[in-house]
Structure 1
């Protein structure tokens, strides 16, 4: 019983303090050295009422992995100071119904953490129409700690900042050096 309470406290504290969690559907096999972490997603979240709450799958929002209501998920939490894997825990996925009391409470917490929202105060109405709000309720420790680095190339995304440098940039940089 004491070990179970300690595990629950570790999951809660580690998840509260971490800005990101890595989430994959429970149906995805354990990652190994040859399997890239393409099935796990780094997601921002908030810890609210005993569960990790997250929002996504809408235009301009974070893409969620293949999580289904009532299904399972595996959550990996990193250490805030060292950045390494701290704990992995299994979760039950609960999709919240828009405008329900649970949805309203979760969204009130999430909107405070959403950075650079394009629509400000209207974002909650947009979330109700276009996005999914999920609760990942802990069901226990997974006991699995994958070996290796699990480093993988980033997943394809339309959100990119890599573009060729403007042709005039090298000349502009040379002029600044000459003026000094």
Structure 2
């Protein structure tokens, strides 16, 4: 049951929550290909600095209703630029990349020149967590510190506002 659930969840995945070791889970867009997930990260793309060097990662996938349905361990394999896998998968990934500037070929060339990493996440068949073994808590984490977060000022009021 759970192996079929993992396979079906991987097929429908567009976003996966991926974490390496005890690091934070990151929402990363991915491309499902032949029962695996393909993820790109690096300069100008999504941030996952620990993923390219990892050998294992934990992947959380959602169901049709948007809720968590499966947590599984995956084997991580980096796809080398210029390899057969790169030639086959990078154009597919570039074609699915939303809001990319330029053509798919330009994007693939940029990934290769800028040192972006394309990794393949292959689900391990040993004991994925599915209902009823999923955690009961929300698994929400506080926002990570980022230079984009700024303190919010109180709004300017020209006149006194009466309370009712």
Deviations 1:73-109 (A, max 9, x none): 110001132x111001110100000121111222122
In structure 2, the residue matched to 1:133 is 118
In structure 1, the residue matched to 2:15 is 20
Count how many residue pairs are aligned between Structure 1 and Structure 2: 152
Deviations 1:44-87 (A, max 9, x none): 001112210000122x2100152244611110001132x11100
Q: Which runs of 5+ in 1 are unaligned?
A: 1-5, 29-37, 168-180
Contact 1:78–1:87, Cα closer than 8 Å, also in 2: yes
Alignment RMSD (CA, Å): 2.9
Q: Which runs of 5+ in 2 are unaligned?
A: 157-164
The more displaced of 140-149 and 83-92 is 140-149
More helix by share: 1
SS at match of 1:39: coil
Contact 1:117–1:123, Cα closer than 8 Å, also in 2: yes
Q: Distance in 1 between matches of 2:152 and 2:33?
A: 39
**Is residue 7 of structure 1 aligned with residue 2 of structure 2?**
yes
Q: Distance in 2 between matches of 1:137 and 1:87?
A: 14
Cα pair distance change 1:49/1:18, threshold 3 Å:
closer
Equivalent position to 2:81, from 83, 98, 105:
98
The alpha carbon displacement at 1:8 in A equals 2.9
**Is residue 142 of structure 1 aligned with residue 128 of structure 2?**
yes
Deviations 1:96-142 (A, max 9, x none): 00121111222122112100112333110011122000000111233
Cα pair distance change 1:159/1:44, threshold 3 Å:
farther
